Amino acid sequence: MDIEIWKEHVEIERKNKDIFFRGYQSPMSFEYRETFKGLDYYPPDLEYRFELEAFEHQDKENIRIEDTKGNIRDFIRWGEFRFMIKGQNCVLQIYKSNVYEEQLFLPFRDSTSGQDTHGAGRYLDLQPYVNKTDEGLWVLDFNEAYNPWCAYSNDYACPLTPPENWLEVPIYAGEKDFKK
């Protein structure tokens, strides 16, 4: 992997998101869009990019996750990622919204949550055609971590991060908290 090309890709994706957030489909209110100068991110850091095996659970559990409006949403605990950051072993559960879903949903909190990053946590969405290597490993890149839309407007209800996905280690990568 060419590191400069990777960094350029991360920066382009961030600029494209800023353009989207200025547009009519933005989750932000018109009030914020008028003065919006761009989202705040940690600098791209390769230390927070992994190529990992996804350990699919043999017995997949249906779990219920509350959202920010108090609604209950059903998910399938599909598998988990195991990795190490700063000498600490970490495990994050991976979810799917239904058995036919190909996309993996990974909500997480870390020790930056509520300080530098959104208090309810951040998300990663992993698509097999984008986030899988030719060798079958998943690219877990925390530089792509984003805030749920409820961070920008109370009009949205977003799944809360289950406690099983609260990391003690800081993840200094991805999107920072949106300051209204």
- Asked whether residue 108 is domain-assigned, the answer is yes
pLDDT at 125: 97
CA 109 from centre of chain: 9
Structure confidence at residue 171 (pLDDT): 98
Selection from 176, 172, 171, 143 nearest residue 10 by Cα: 143
Q: How many domains does the chain have?
A: 1
Q: Is residue 150 part of a domain?
A: yes
Is residue 1 assigned to a domain? no
The predicted structure's pLDDT at residue 179: 82
Residue 146: give the domain boundaries. 45-165
Give pLDDT, residue 32. 85
Q: Two tokens at 8? A: 């350029």
Which pLDDT score is estimated for 2? 87
Which pLDDT tens digits describe the chain residue by residue (180 residues)? 789 999 999 999 999 999 999 999 999 988 888 889 999 999 999 999 999 999 999 999 999 999 999 999 999 999 999 999 999 999 999 999 998 999 999 999 999 999 999 999 999 999 999 999 999 999 999 999 999 999 999 999 999 999 999 999 999 999 999 986
Q: Establish if 87 belongs to a structural domain.
A: yes
Is 74 a domain residue? yes
138 found inside a domain: yes
Evaluate whether residue 171 is within a structural domain. no
- The DSSP bridge partners found for residue 26 are none
pLDDT of residue 142: 98
- Taking CB atoms within 8 Å and a gap of at least 24, the contacts of 72-81 are 73/159, 75/105, 75/159, 78/104, 79/54, 79/55, 79/104, 80/54, 80/55, 81/50, 81/52, 81/54, 81/55, 81/106, 81/138, 81/140
Q: What pLDDT score does 61 carry? A: 95
Which pLDDT value is given to residue 159?
96
| Tokens (6 digits) for 74 | 């059903």
Here the tokens at position 51 are 């190529």
Domain-located, residue 180: no
